[in-house]
Amino acid sequence: MSAFRTLGVIGAGQMGAGIAQVAAACGLNTLLKDSTYDAALAGLARIQKQLQRAVEKGRMSEDTRIETLNRIHVCTDLEEFKAVDIAIEAVPEDEALKKQVLKQLEQVLRRRAIIASNTSSISITRLGSAAQFPSRVVGMHFMQPVPVMQLVELIRGHSTSPEVFNATKELAERMGKTVSCSEDYPGFLTNRILVPMINEAFHALHQGVGTREDIDMSMKLGMNHPMGPLTLADFIGLDTCLAILRVLEEGLGPKYMPCPLLVKYVDAGWLGRKSGRGVYEYGTRK
């Protein structure tokens, strides 16, 4: 099961494109699927830009860049996933959507293929319940930006088999990642700690405790964080932060209720860097 040759990613956004990039870079033939060909090509363009930047900074040779790109194929038809050894869904943080994707994958994947979810907060046990064979469903939560961040968080659902979990761990390590293992609780480890901090930063902004710049500077210089919580929220996507908080609130109680200011920003379409406006302004829409 661990002899992976081909990997498929569903969702060609920032996260999905990043997963496809690191998969191709470690020698895997990689399929990158989105609902439209334009969206899939946009994901490939993100990868091309990242690889070109790596060449310009001397971190990658031109030959390696070309070899990596040649391993990536974009598509819109899930039938092309018939030959993959593992499929990773990286669609938006919506439980119903993710369950739908898992059901569709089971219709085309080989019986021994692994289905991994890149969910950042939703129960793997609940997602696996949508599958006919939940033993092959596992949580594989990458950090953003995927090519840079070293961690992959693995989550074992109630029915995830040891063979699937161990094979997925080996794959993450092959990708050059360090693995942390979390039990299947809302938010897992990383986001149960991180996102409440972001929410508290929004409360501080909402209540006028400090400006956005002072809040971020306090955590950067006072706590030695590489970026402030509000800048990080914009980078993650305010809609994603809100979705994670909804999961935490539902599963763990009202202490995780989202700040009204965060809800207002998302309602206004201020989603962060990807929309051109969040806590900060980023000019034209990316």
Catalytic residue among 89, 93, 106, 153: 153
**35: annotated active-site residue:** no
Active-site residue (options: 121, 191, 199, 275): 191
Q: Is 2 a catalytic residue?
A: no
Q: Is 153 a catalytic residue?
A: yes
Give yes or no: 73 in active site. no
Catalytic residue among 141, 182, 199, 275: 141
What is the C-alpha radius of gyration for the chain, rounded to an integer number of angstroms? 19
| Residue whose pair of structure tokens reads 């599958």 in the numeric block | 131
Q: Which of 29, 117, 118, 120 is catalytic?
A: 120
Catalytically active residues, by annotation: 120, 141, 153, 191
